[in-house]
Copies of this chain bind each other. A is one copy, B any other.
Amino acid sequence: MKIIIAGAGAMGSRFGLMLHRANHEVVFVDGWQDHIDEINKNGLQANFNGEEIVENIPIYNQNEISKINYSADLVILFTKAMQLDNMLQSISNLLHERTKVLCLLNGIGHEDTIEKYVPYDNILLGNTMWTSGIEGPGKVKLFGDGSVDLQNLGVGQKQIANEVIEALNQAGLNAQYSSNILSSIYKKACVNGTMNGLCTILDCNIADFGKTSYEDRIINQIVDEFIAIADAQNIPLNKDEILDQIKSSYNLETIGLHYPSMYQDLIINHRLTEIDYINGVIVRKGEQYQIATPYCTFLTELIHTKEELLGVK
């Protein structure tokens, strides 16, 4: 299959590398020039479950797409949320009327952006449990196992989901069909929509937050807002399950000692956060559906204020 990985960061590199090794025709598109230069010069270097490997995979800057003569069967979107619109604009010439587009970004509501560039029936949404780390330009570290759940957005388009699942499984990516991907995506967003913003604004790790006597009431308020917005879109969510999943993240033996990605982005690396694609989506959809979302609103405002205070906006 001809596959474009749009966004060749840590996760995009993993998927591209595994698909390339399974003999798919993979092309990376990215915006990080040092990374692009290193891969063009020395290949993508990976520590792949302990083994040092190098794969030569074409990579282009999204600003030089005109150089590419390539008509993709599948695009896998792996940008940061705030880069999605720009990336879709950049690659729109590489899409034909039957190019399938699978979105594996964190956060919710990306379909609203993708729809501007891609026919609804060609869009697939997914959730992945794979992990990956970038070590520097052109270098990634890929350990452990993972999986991908995905689903077609268009009614009656299950066949295209199955084609993508087959391609991913040829590469060992453990893909499976989900009959309720929006519920899974919202469920994951509830975890991110609490731990990310709260640990960032409170300057703590997940377990430390979990030990405070206010964790329960704060996460309840935020999750209630996510559920109200999901409900307005007929996306079923089970609150008890969600609270269980959030609280299980406090566990020191799993990810409790972890500082969430938003903390790393903002507090450690002084980068813009993805808050607008997590809690901020709840705020926007709340305005649309006339549903009050004060906790998500205040948290989004606080994170944006912190971005400005740290000079990253």
Stretch among A8-16, A72-80, A153-161, A300-308 lining the B interface: A300-308
- CA separation between A301 and B208, bound complex, in Å? 15
Is A53 on the interface with B (CB-CB < 8 A)? Answer: no
Q: Does A204 contact B (CB under 8 A)?
A: yes
Interface residues in A178-224 (C-beta closer than 8 Å to B): 201-204, 208-209, 211-215, 217-218, 221
Instruction: Judge if A295 is at the interface, Cβ distance under 8 Å.
Output: yes
9 closest Cβ contacts across the A-B interface?
A294-B294, A212-B308, A214-B305, A212-B305, A214-B301, A204-B309, A298-B298, A218-B301, A295-B298
Query: Which has the most chain B C-beta neighbours within 10 Å: A204, A211, A295, A309?
Result: A309
Residues of B within 8 A of A209 (CB): 305, 309
Residue of B215, B221, B305 touching A202 (CB-CB under 8 A):
B305
Are A304 and B214 closer than 8 Å at their CB atoms? yes
Nearest chain B residue, comparing its CB with the CB of A205: B309
Among B212, B217, B305, which residue has its beta carbon within 8 angstroms of that of A218? B305
Residue picked from A209, A214, A292, most chain B C-beta under 10 Å:
A214
Given the known A-B contacts A201-B201, A214-B304, A304-B214, are A208 and B298 also in contact in the complex, defined by CB atoms under 8 Å? no
Q: Which of A279-311 contact B (CB under 8 A)?
A: 292, 294-295, 298-299, 301-302, 304-306, 308-309
Q: Mark A215-237, 1 if CB is under 8 A from B, else 0.
A: 10110010000000000000000
Contact of A294 among B214, B298, B309 (CB under 8 A): B298
Shortest A211–chain B CB gap in Å is: 8
| Residue tally, chain A, CB below 8 Å to B | 26
CB-CB nearest in chain B for A307:
B212
Q: Given the complex, which residues of B lie within 8 Å of A215, measured CB to CB?
A: 305
Least CB distance from A205 to B in Å reads 10
Known: A294-B294, A295-B298. A306 touches B218 (CB 8 A): no
Query: Does the CB pair B201–A308 fall under 8 Å?
Result: no
Q: What's the Cα separation between A208 and B310 when bound, in Å? A: 10
Please state if B295 and A208 are interface contacts (CB–CB under 8 Å).
Answer: no
A126 to B295, CA, bound (A): 34
- Enumerate 23 A-B pairs (CB-CB under 8 Å) in ascending A order: A201-B201, A202-B305, A202-B309, A203-B203, A203-B309, A208-B309, A209-B305, A209-B309, A211-B308, A212-B304, A212-B305, A212-B308, A214-B301, A214-B304, A215-B305, A218-B298, A218-B301, A218-B302, A292-B292, A292-B294, A294-B294, A298-B298, A298-B299
Residues of B within 8 A of A218 (CB): 298, 301-302, 305
Q: Report yes or no: B217 in contact with A301, Cβ–Cβ below 8 A.
A: yes
On chain B, the residues within 8 Å of A308 by CB distance are 211-214
| Chain B residues whose C-beta falls within 8 Å of the C-beta of A208 in the assembled complex | 309
A296 to chain B, nearest CB (A): 10
Check B201–A302 contact: CB distance below 8 A: yes
* New A-B contacts (18) at CB < 8 Å, excluding given A212-B304, A213-B304, A218-B302: A201-B202, A202-B305, A203-B309, A204-B309, A208-B309, A209-B305, A209-B309, A211-B308, A212-B305, A212-B309, A214-B305, A218-B298, A218-B301, A292-B292, A292-B294, A294-B295, A295-B298, A298-B298
